[in-house]
Structure 1
Amino acid sequence: MTIQSDNPTTGVPVSTELVETSDAEVREICATAARAVAELARRPLSWRAELLEAMARHLDADAEEIIDLADAETGLGPTRLRGELTRTCFQFRFFADVVRDGGFLEASIDHPYDSPMGPLPDLRRQLEPLGAIGVFGASNFPLAFSVPGGDTASALAAGCSVIVKAHPAHPRTSVATFSCL
């Protein structure tokens, strides 16, 4: 089924060449995302940080097209959308810095030693990615809480793959922002 949105300013339907994802395609996307978690976990933190920064750069580079599409699909206005895109790019860059710092891993090492209870082992712990993360796009925030945005940025920073259910109110914006990621 072809996806259609409405221009909220004029009420005129806007046709797209986009089609809904089938159940079989959703299953394949989920399986691919699940497999991607292991690949993300193998990558160094510096790679994750560079990925997040590259995503922000691509969103910045396509800002005018993204803002025009989002305005046509949501009627939120270019000023509001420009601020939302700025916030979104900031979130990707912020999480790149968080990843570089590494403190989010909460790594700890307890070295082995002899205790009154007997010898204690070498214990090491750090937080690990949970797995594939689902993000549901919001109708009223097509950039900050949708395909890009804090949920996607934080999941990728943690080493989780992301599956997005784009909101039907802004399908072309969702495709445009996805192409930047």
Structure 2
Amino acid sequence: MVVGGTDTSSNTIEFAMAEMMHNPETMKRVQEELEVVVGKDNMVEESHIHKLSYLQAVMKETLRLHPGSRVLVNVWAIHRDPSIWKKPLEFDPIRFLDANLDFSGNDFNYFPFGSGRRICAGISMAERTVLHFLATLVHLFDWTIPQGEKLEVSEKFGIVLKKKIPLVSIPTPRLSNPDLYK
């Protein structure tokens, strides 16, 4: 399960970072939420994750736009259906703040981990891993793309969904406590 979830989790993190860098107001809002929940002199811990509702919405929106795979059911098309989603091609985590959508696969408008007998066995691990990595990356650093580069969020289809062009970004420490970077 750990090996099977490595590609999909790392791809989800890469897509989420690319979407936040493409939508700087989203990145800023996640950083503000982290400052309130975690504080500027602390590292992100697992106990913080359930309090990060906007970051959870960012992950859900990332999985809506970039689901891990298209095996059996075309989740990619369902998650972009304008009869189901308002402005389906826009990255908008706010749509998940008041919505009661989870990863259980019971709502057939949103099931990035599949549903029924084919549901992903690693949902819980993937959710924790992706949220903890994203929280840590966004909390510790400001992110930019190299000068002259264009941020591309296009997809490459395969067994798992990947970014067509890998994300290249520059981290800049954003917290004042140098011990947090050791």
**TM-score of the pair, normalised by structure 1:** 0.29
Q: Give the structure with higher Rg (CA).
A: 1
Greater helix proportion: 1
**TM-score of the pair, normalised by structure 2:** 0.29
Greater strand proportion: 1
